[in-house]
Amino acid sequence: MALPSPVNSPIRYSVVIPYFNEGENLPDLIAELDSALSAMGAAAEVILVDDGSTDGFVPPSSTPRFPIRRLALDRNSGQSAAMYYGMQSARGEFVLLMDADLQNDPADMQKLMTKLVTDNLDFVTGVRAKRLDNWYRVASSRIANGVRSFLLRDKTSDTGCTLKALRVEVAKRMPAWNGMHRFMPALALSCGFKTGEVPVNHRPRHAGVSKVNSARRAIRATQDLLGMMWFTSRQIKGRLKPEVVETIETKEVSESRMEEGGSSLNGAFPSISGNVAREPHFNDKEMANGHP
């Protein structure tokens, strides 16, 4: 089912896939993406972000029905870095994130987008309904998710699921710092965006090996959580309105319009003189009330 497009853009979906030494999985992933994106019925691009891989890259054996851009970091910098640069390069209206190990199901992208559009959300994360990892990873993930959700109030039960859908303006607001990928729902909420979640499929790893070091990840996640508690409390929550509220023309433009028979702004804005309008003055009391 093709989803309606809110704005006119040549590309609707940008699928961002960070990867490190996933050469065995990429050909099958691209084939699955080809099928899933075709079913979604809109223009799309795929952005592969190589996080310093050493196993080489094998181009797809057949020509895909969507453009693929492959970016490469100059060194192994971690998932957050690869994800950040991929999102900053996105040209679509919506950004879809997923892992390259085929544990995320590309067919679930439709489900995330339907939730986002139907509920008028800005950010939707997948929740792995039935995880197919070993018991230790599942248990540690549940504990970490519980602690994070309690402290950050991010309304997300499984932030570790990479499969996510977000509006491009949300993607561009994500900060460039290590650990960002663990806290994306909280970061979106702290900026004033609306978030949600939806159950998704989880599959066993297709090929290759996991790069996750559980002990090291636990230490870094704890450090990042403390930083996030401070950061989200200081995040700017306001967003610009989509329309221009007011435009004040210069004196020359106003006089030119008078000569052409147009209306003049003289009198309506008596503060205008010369080539630029003076900045309006707000006293402390008015600024405290949020308006002049």
Strand intervals (E) in the chain: 13-19, 44-50, 68-72, 94-97, 123-128, 164-167, 195-200, 272-273, 276-277
More confident residue, 98 or 150: 98
The residue among 234, 260, 279 that closes a domain is 234
Structural domain count of the chain: 2
Specify whether 27 is located in the same domain as 78. yes
**215 within a domain of the structure (yes/no):** yes
Measured CA to CA, the distance from residue 100 to residue 49 in angstroms comes to 10
> What's the pLDDT score for residue 129?
82
- 0.75 exceeded by the pTM? no
Burial class (CB in 10 A: 0-12, 13-18, 19+), 290: exposed
% residues pLDDT > 90 (the chain): 43
Looking at the structure, do residues 71 and 188 belong to the same domain, yes or no? yes
In degrees and rounded to multiples of 5, residue 81 shows phi and psi of: -65, -45
**What would the pLDDT profile of 5-22 be if each residue is shown by its tens digit?**
444 558 999 999 999 999
Highest mean pLDDT among 52-66, 127-141, 167-181: 167-181
Q: Report pLDDT digits (tens) over 143-152.
A: 666 666 666 6
Residues 238-287: tens digit of each pLDDT? 777 777 767 787 877 666 767 776 544 444 434 433 343 344 443 444 43
Domain that holds residue 163: 13-234
Q: What is the pLDDT of residue 182?
A: 86
Q: Please check whether residues 173 and 214 belong to one and the same domain.
A: yes
**Does residue 258 lie in a domain region?**
yes
Percent of the chain with pLDDT over 70: 70
Residues 265 and 223 in one domain: no
Same domain, 48 and 82: yes
